Amino acid sequence: MDTARIASLRSAPVPPARHLIDGEHLDASDGATYQVISPIDGKPFTTMPAGTAADAQSAIAAARTAFDDGRWRGMGPKARKTVMLRWADQIEANALEIAVLGVRENGTEIAMALKAEPLSAAATIRYYAEAIDKLNGEIAPTEPGTLGLVHREPAGVVGAIIPWNFPLMIGAWKLGPALAAGCSVVLKPAETASLSLLRIAELGHEAGLPPGVLNIVTGTGAVVGAAIAESMQVDVLAFTGSGATGRKLLEAAARSNLKRVYLELGGKSPNIVFADAPDLDEAAKVSAAGIFRNSGQVCVAGSRLLVERQVHDAFVEKLVAHARAMKVGDPLDPETAAGAINSQRQLDQTLNFITEARSLGRKIVTGGNRIHEETGGFYMAPTIVAGVEPNDRIAQQEVFGPVLAVMPFETEEEAVALANGTDYGLAAAVWTANLSRAHRMVRQIRAGVVHVNTYGGADLTVPLGGVGQSGNGHDKSLHAFDKYLDLKTAWIKL
Ligand code: NAD
């Protein structure tokens, strides 16, 4: 990694950000802004428009007009593909600059951010661009004398609302298929992770996205997000974030135009280690990364460790060694394994879980405290809590911080019961060398993805989505198109 370039970018002045609406950079309609605080040192480094409902409405109107006049969906697949491929190339060409900008705002360690943010966004946009001219309709097997055609048409205006942990990766999971399908989009990034999205949207326009097709409105969920959710002009709402917000979006859709709502929510994902795992050292190494990278701010983080009792103590010891060896701190140091927590609020919430676990007599095996406070940044030591009871809040609720809750189990049945014992169902892992057991576990665990003898890393070719209160609908893979395309039947008498 080009450390000299990172050093010069880390303190480069960042001009006040502006919305991107109808191809134009705009301030909030009332001129209001808020400060962008870097979690690296707790200091403000630029400002962001505090968007108003009117800003959201003008972006939606621009997207509506762009959709209705066909300037994008009517362009033809080859031309749209060319624009999106060019966009992906430009994101890739500016990857380091974009990654550093994003890290200054959200705190993810640069080694991960570079791959998971601009480079993954470029790969996602390219993947969906390449699919544009391969989306066929269908001819139905009707009786003679009729012809049944099934057209796949862009669904219209998409409202996308996303969180702060991986704004570009998650943003591209919505933008890639939505734009490739021919939709127009209004995207609201999280309050604490908007800069890099604004930057890639700008590159999209330079690559040839017509004005109004991709609009970014910054500001709070309660104002901008709610205005998108309540709009009569938005056809599809694609959301990643918390269950509490997801619930509000469903209500808003019911109150307004019954727009389709796709929710990618949180998880409390079980990582299940059997004594017969092929390599317990490898399992410990991967499991530590599976919870502690990006300081645990990962929707699929393996935040509940279920370990077969006979290897429990030895395995926890291995994990503790990895947790203590992890370099936590300055996210712009390429050697850092876990950067900053996104905000003071998120840090405080995470520490509250630890205080509660302590008061219940649970064992804080390592970590449990804020570190590097002298920097002014928001850092926390990788934390392992053992002796957790299945109904503890730390075992039931998403912490979204570097905190692993550990529970022992005796039998496969008990492991399944514990694994399925939360309201969530996003991700899981099983470590075992027993092939039959691995398949039995995959079938029995309620989750959108079950890893076997690994954790994380599932690529774009497979869908990601949850069951239960982890949501509905899927990002990634060709299945993501289902959210942004409508089926239309032509029934023709011959
Ligand atoms: P959040 O729900 O508070 O915020 C997410 C987005 O929703 C933000 O842009 C926010 O401004 C907006 N929002 C908030 N209130 C709103 C409202 N009333 N109306 C409309 N929009 C509103 O979540 P967060 O704390 O930013 O993100 C963390 C959550 O996201 C975690 O639960 C995490 O698991 C989840 N997440 C899920 C996935 C996944 O793919 N399943 C990926 C990453 C994060």
φ, ψ of residue 286 to 5 degrees: the values are -70, -35
Q: What contacts 310, CB < 8 A, 6 or more positions away?
A: 275
Looking at the chain, the domain(s) classified CATH 3.40.605.10 span 3-265+471-493
- Output the pLDDT for position 79: 98
Dump pLDDT digits (tens) for 417-452: 999 999 999 999 999 999 999 999 999 999 999 999
pLDDT of 412 higher than 90: yes
Which residue's CA is the closest to the ligand 1 atom numbered 11?
221
Mean pLDDT of 232-249: 98
Domain 3-265+471-493 has CATH 3.40.605.10: yes
Give me the pLDDT at residue 1, please: 86
Measured in Å, residue 117 CA sits from the centre of ligand 1 at 17
Residue closest to 301 by CA, chosen among 211, 402, 228: 402
Task: Please write the tens of the pLDDT for every residue from 209-228.
Answer: 999 999 999 999 999 999 99
The DSSP 8-state label assigned to residue 375 in this structure reads G
* pTM of the shown model: 0.97
* Greatest Cα-to-Cα distance within the chain, rounded to the nearest angstrom: 79
Q: Is the CB of 109 under 6 A from ligand 1?
A: no
* Nearest CA-CA partner of 243 in 130, 396, 113: 396
Q: What are the start and end residues of each CATH 3.40.309.10 domain in the chain? A: 270-459
| Token digits of residue 193 | 């992770």
Quick count: other Cβ atoms within 10 Å of Cβ 208? Answer: 15
Q: Whole-angstrom Cα distance, residue 170 to residue 168?
A: 6
How many residues make up the chain in this entry? Answer: 494
- Pocket of ligand 1 contains residue 226 by CB under 6 Å: yes
**pLDDT tens column, 268-319:** 999 999 999 999 999 999 999 999 999 999 999 999 999 999 999 999 999 9
Instruction: List Cα–Cα distances, 409 to 90, 175, 278, 306, 387, in angstroms.
Output: 50, 42, 18, 7, 11
Strand pairing class (44-49; 138-140): unpaired
Mean pLDDT across the stretch 330-344? 97
Q: Which of 255, 299, 449 to mutate to test the pocket of ligand 1 (most atoms within 8 A of CB)?
A: 299
- Per-residue pLDDT of 111-146, as tens digits, reads 999 999 999 999 999 999 999 999 999 999 999 999
> How do residues 38-92 score in pLDDT, each as one tens digit?
999 999 999 999 999 999 999 999 999 999 999 999 999 999 999 999 999 999 9
Residue 190 Cβ contacting ligand 1 at under 6 Å: yes
For 162, residues 6+ apart whose C-beta sits below 8 A from its C-beta are 170, 171, 174, 187, 188, 189, 190, 239, 240, 241
Tokens of 350: 């995470």
Q: Is pLDDT at 473 greater than 90 in this prediction?
A: no
Q: Among 3.90.1150.10, 3.40.190.10, 3.50.50.60, 3.40.309.10, name the CATH number for the domain at 270-459.
A: 3.40.309.10
Distance 310 CA to ligand 1 centre (A): 39
pLDDT mean over 452-463: 96
- Average pLDDT on 148-175 reads 98
User: In whole angstroms, how far apart are CA 304 and each of 233, 279, 374?
Assistant: 41, 19, 31
Q: What angle do CA 468, 191, 59 make, to 5 degrees?
A: 90
Residue 133 carries which DSSP code? G
pLDDT digits 0-9 by tens, 1-15: 899 999 999 999 999
241 Cα to the center of ligand 1, angstroms: 2
Mapped onto helix, strand or coil, the DSSP state of residue 384 is strand
Rounded to an integer, the average pLDDT of 358-386 is: 98
The answer to whether 71 touches 210, Cβ cutoff 8 Å, is: yes
CB of 230 shorter than 6 A to ligand 1: no
467 Cβ inside 6 Å of ligand 1: no
